[in-house]
Structure 1
Amino acid sequence: MEDEEPPRLLEVSSPEPEAGPSTSSKDQYDRPKIPLTLLTGYLGAGKSTLLDYILKEEHGYKIAVCMNDFGDTTDIEAKSLTLSDPNSQQTTTEFLSLPNGCLCCSFKDMGIAAIEEMVANAPGGIDWVMVELTGVADPGPIVRSFWANEEMGDLILDGVVCVVDSRNVQKQLAEQRDGDEINECQKQVACADVILLNKLDLVTKDQMKEVESTIRTINPTLKVHHTTHSRMPLSDLFNLRAFSDPTAITSAQQQDDDHVNEHKHDGEECSHPSHIKTESHTNGIKTVLIPLPLLNQEQYLRLNEFLESLLWESKILPSKSPSPEILRSKGYILLEDGREYVLQGVADLFELKELPDISNQAGTSDDNNGKVVFIGKGVGEEIKNALIDFVGI
């Protein structure tokens, strides 16, 4: 009988943890995410010039750059990841293999995993990752891939930066596709969070005003910078938090208002998206900005239902009429009980994220004005009127 008794448990003191980084799940969860920027722009806009500037300038960041090492072509199967170290005069380069093509019209999970692995193994860690897309890339599917997988590893999607050739962008935007399809340049502008209007030295002041007006017409939520040789303070491209910061829309709107004030003439208002809520452009791309009052809980749930039908089922409630092609969605929603949400969407993927203690954040709007912005082909008054009717505002 004594042999069948269970053995006594002995009390053993746990060894002291070794010095160095903790690997506990809690520490991994609390560890700050590394922001990742997607860099897009049409052929010849100046993406490679910007990356060259990032890698050579003494800016104080440790940056990993995943770049198209052999130029903007669609058949490259190797990309270089270059680490820029502010404490060293040198950069180091490694290569990752993307077997199914370049960072172009699709981006496989294996590509994300490869970047995460290389970043994790970077000596001394890094501050920022920038991934260059090809000049003919549709950024939408790639943004969705990174956004949907941002809970994997240490990376988090920080924003989409688009470099524009100010001298040629009007012609690029006007290029026609079969069946009146939206072209790549239009998609790049529509999906971006920040625009660099590059080659300022090659256009006149009036031409630059026209380019900026066109760009803002397509995407009025952009933060716009004028550059020559793609040079600008990198702090304006870093830590954008474009997919989580509720001030992203209000900041861009304030920049729009400043732009309008600068270009008033003879007492007249500029024709500008901040004054015109819907504006058409090449191939039917339009933007609609819908102001929102404070919503009660029922109205918030109806707004969510409207978004699900619009973006998931391509139906406009309450009539269930076919939805236009939505490229980008953004919003800032305030509830009567004090809760606040930010809406981010790319194509049919969207998120309504509650923002805790937002009233204490600098730059938060204090005018109790919410808004929803849709950018896409054929959006306009129909969506605006349907949302107002269905939500009951």
Structure 2
Amino acid sequence: MESDDEEGPPMLVAADTKSVPVTIITGYLGAGKTTLLNYILTENHGKKIAVIMNEFGEGDGAMEKSMTVSSGEADAPLFEEWLELRNGCLCCSIKDNAVKAIELLMDKQGKFDYILLETTGLADPGPVANLFWLDDGLASDIYVDGILTVVDGKHILSQLEEQRKDVEINEAVRQVALADIILLNKIDLVSEEQLHKIKSYISDINSAAIVIPTTHSRVDLDQILDLNAYGCDSSHSQLQDNLMGKQQSSAVLSAGDKNHIDTTVSTVRIDMDGSLDPQKFDLFLQNLLWERLIQSSDGSAMELLRLKGLVCEAGNSHSTILQGVYETYDKRTTKSPILSPSCSLIFIGRNLEKQVLFDALTSCLASP
């Protein structure tokens, strides 16, 4: 769906649930992204996967050597070379425009079961995800299945704590905050005490993400592919588990119980009974994301990095999935009928205050 206000930031375009899923893979240089991709591409998983890569900073395997790295010339081709692998997978190196590369992929190479997009080591995955949601033509062919962040267990704490004069929230924090899945890699290089501290730190930032400890980026692919985090065909209970983080539900609720203002990046979860008035709810989202009118009790504007939820809207017999990144959000009606009206939302950002958010959402409830 699109915003009626041409001057305002657009809402996301709904994706076709039968389209090809895309997982955005992000993480700092050296975290293990390319190792993960090499592992996926060489496994006998039975999927026809297309991988789009735009950096070759890790490893010197035969896959990278077989591909041509961009020369950086202005008239160079958008993508350098398609490399077809024996197990039916396909790999592509690109210069800069991942959306165009995927359009060419879908047009010239045929349909795939899955697409993996690796971002650069310092990339913010938010705008990358928005590119797909805001491209009307592309949204009919693919949908974002989830954002996966690979973190280096040995260095992640120092990366998260890095203070930068030019930014208030550094790239490592943003990558963790926006993730649906966090691959905590290189755990063999840290002690149990350090591992516990890392998990606690990550949970403070994004307690809705599922954290998977691993070494050498080796992971059960069923844990990271086909997350269906925003799939509209699932039952209401399945949607709650997928969307709100089944394995991390206790951590989310714990973080959500913080009523004080948190100036660092943190997670707040709100659960409430009843249905929301669609117009009031849209106005709440616009005031929160676009106008920055929802403020904490000390007058600080709340800054949202990620927003997701499962809500019931008055006049709709089926529940609605909400997802948002920064100033962009999307609402999609599911195939799950509403039995008992309720709403669950997760907010990840700065200057969050649960009571203020709860009161604002309460004012959006539809009359009985």
Structure 2 counterpart of 1:332, one-letter code: L
Report whether the alignment pairs 1:277 with 2:278.
Answer: no
Compared with structure 1, are the counterparts of its residues 164 and 92 closer, same or farther at alpha carbon in structure 2 (3 Å cutoff)? Answer: closer
Compared with structure 1, are the counterparts of its residues 205 and 84 closer, same or farther at alpha carbon in structure 2 (3 Å cutoff)? Answer: farther
Instruction: Give per-residue Cα distances to partners, 1:175-223, cap 9 Å, x unaligned.
Output: 0111661000000011111111111212223322221222122112212
Q: Describe the SS at the equivalent of 1:345.
A: strand
Residue 288 of structure 1 corresponds to 268
Instruction: Give per-residue Cα distances to partners, 1:138-194, cap 9 Å, x unaligned.
Output: 111111111212642522221111111112111110001116610000000111111
Q: Describe the SS at the equivalent of 2:175.
A: helix
* Counterpart pick for 1:254 among 239, 246, 261: 246
Spell out the pairing of 1:316-335 with structure 2 (5 A cutoff).
Answer: 316=294, 323-335=301-313
d(CA) in 2 for partners of 1:377, 1:175: 17
Report whether the alignment pairs 1:67 with 2:53.
Answer: yes
CA contact (8 A) 2:289 2:326 kept: yes
Q: Describe the SS at the equivalent of 2:335.
A: coil
Query: Shift of the alpha carbon at 1:318?
Result: 12
Residue 176 of structure 2 corresponds to 189
Residue 356 of structure 1 corresponds to 335
CA contact (8 A) 1:41 1:188 kept: yes
Structure 1 counterpart of 2:283, one-letter code: E
Report whether the alignment pairs 1:115 with 2:115.
Answer: no
CA contact (8 A) 1:81 1:96 kept: no
Which runs of structure 1 show a deviation greater than 6 angstroms over 4 or more consecutive aligned residues?
280-283
CA contact (8 A) 2:81 2:93 kept: yes
Residue 57 of structure 1 corresponds to 43
CA contact (8 A) 1:194 1:224 kept: yes
d(CA) in 2 for partners of 1:180, 1:120: 39
CA contact (8 A) 1:290 1:373 kept: yes
Residue 18 of structure 1 corresponds to none
Query: Shift of the alpha carbon at 1:244?
Result: 3.8
CA contact (8 A) 1:64 1:84 kept: no
Structure 2 counterpart of 1:255, one-letter code: Q
Query: Shift of the alpha carbon at 1:383?
Result: 3.7
Q: Taking CA–CA contacts closer than 8 Å with sequence separation of 6 or more, which of the two structures ends up with the larger relative contact order? A: 2
Q: Describe the SS at the equivalent of 1:116.
A: helix
Query: Shift of the alpha carbon at 1:242?
Result: 2.6
d(CA) in 2 for partners of 1:318, 1:168: 33
d(CA) in 2 for partners of 1:345, 1:35: 18
Structure 2 counterpart of 1:86, one-letter code: N
Structure 2 counterpart of 1:233, one-letter code: D
Compared with structure 1, are the counterparts of its residues 44 and 176 closer, same or farther at alpha carbon in structure 2 (3 Å cutoff)? Answer: same
d(CA) in 2 for partners of 1:92, 1:255: 32
d(CA) in 2 for partners of 1:315, 1:281: 16
d(CA) in 1 for partners of 2:93, 2:326: 31
CA contact (8 A) 1:249 1:330 kept: no
Query: Shift of the alpha carbon at 1:346?
Result: 0.5
Residue 159 of structure 2 corresponds to 172
Q: Describe the SS at the equivalent of 1:135.
A: coil
Compared with structure 1, are the counterparts of its residues 221 and 323 closer, same or farther at alpha carbon in structure 2 (3 Å cutoff)? Answer: same
CA contact (8 A) 1:317 1:386 kept: no
d(CA) in 2 for partners of 1:30, 1:374: 25
d(CA) in 1 for partners of 2:326, 2:264: 16
Instruction: Give per-residue Cα distances to partners, 1:330-351, cap 9 Å, x unaligned.
Output: 1111357743111100001011
Report whether the alignment pairs 1:387 with 2:360.
Answer: yes
* Counterpart pick for 2:348 among 349, 368, 375: 375
Residue 282 of structure 2 corresponds to 304
d(CA) in 1 for partners of 2:262, 2:275: 35
TM-score normalised according to structure 1 size: 0.73
Instruction: Give per-residue Cα distances to partners, 1:219-277, cap 9 Å, x unaligned.
Output: 122122121111112222222233445645534543124xx6xxxxxxxxxxx442231
CA contact (8 A) 1:165 1:198 kept: yes
Query: Shift of the alpha carbon at 1:34?
Result: 1.1
Structure 2 counterpart of 1:377, one-letter code: R
Instruction: Give per-residue Cα distances to partners, 1:285-344, cap 9 Å, x unaligned.
Output: 122211121215xx343222111211122212899x663221100111135774311110
- Bigger CA radius of gyration: 1
Compared with structure 1, are the counterparts of its residues 82 and 220 closer, same or farther at alpha carbon in structure 2 (3 Å cutoff)? Answer: farther
Structure 2 counterpart of 1:331, one-letter code: G
d(CA) in 2 for partners of 1:249, 1:70: 37
d(CA) in 2 for partners of 1:190, 1:325: 12
Compared with structure 1, are the counterparts of its residues 286 and 357 closer, same or farther at alpha carbon in structure 2 (3 Å cutoff)? Answer: closer
TM-score normalised according to structure 2 size: 0.77
